[in-house]
Amino acid sequence: MSAQVPIAAYLILAAVLFSIGVAAFLIKRNLISIFMSIELMLNAVNLTLVAFAHMWHQVSGQIFVFFVMVVAAAEAAVGLAIIIAIFRTRETLNVDSVDLMKS
């Protein structure tokens, strides 16, 4: 058997991806980019679930990832429809311009 990878390495890779997603979520000012960083965070969490499923030799974690994927697809459909609706009324994609509830 060739060199093995510790499960902790996969978990740390997922932590790196999740942190990059958090930073992108906070730094980006474009609505679509912010939405994409949410997808990046979901993917990082999926990687931890798959790694744990591998660790326990069970498929329950993989089925959880399957449901997360389905919910992410539904979320993307609704979220992008909301982005289109915002763009139609405000003519901008910058989150700093969408401050209807601020004042």
Partner 1 sequence: MQLALFMIFGGLAVLAALNLLLQRHPINSALSLVVVMMSLAVLYWSLGAEFLAAAQVIVYSGAIMVFFVFVIMLLNAGEEERTTGSRAAYIVGFPGAAAIFCLLSFVFLSERNAFGSSNVGGYLNHVTSNISEVSSLLFTKLLLPFEVTSVLILVAILGAVVLARKEQ
- Provide the minimum distance between the beta carbon of 102 and partner 1 in the complex, in angstroms, as a whole number: 10
Helix (H, G, I), strand (E, B) or coil at 30: strand
State in angstroms the smallest separation of the CB of 103 from partner 1: 13
Footprint (CB under 8 A) of partner 1, residues 13-72? 13, 15-24, 26-30, 32-33, 35-37, 39-40, 43, 46-47, 50-51, 53-55, 57-60, 62-63, 65-67, 69-72
Q: Are 50 and 59 in contact (CB under 8 A)?
A: no
Binding mask 79-98 toward partner 1 (x if CB under 8 A, else -) reads -xxxxxx-xx----xxxxx-
Which residue in 26, 22, 28, 38 sits closest to 76, CA to CA? Answer: 38
CA distances to 5, 51, 54 from 8, rounded to whole Å, are: 8, 9, 12
| Structure token pair of residue 37 | 């960083």
Q: Smallest gap, in angstroms, from Cβ of residue 90 to partner 1?
A: 11
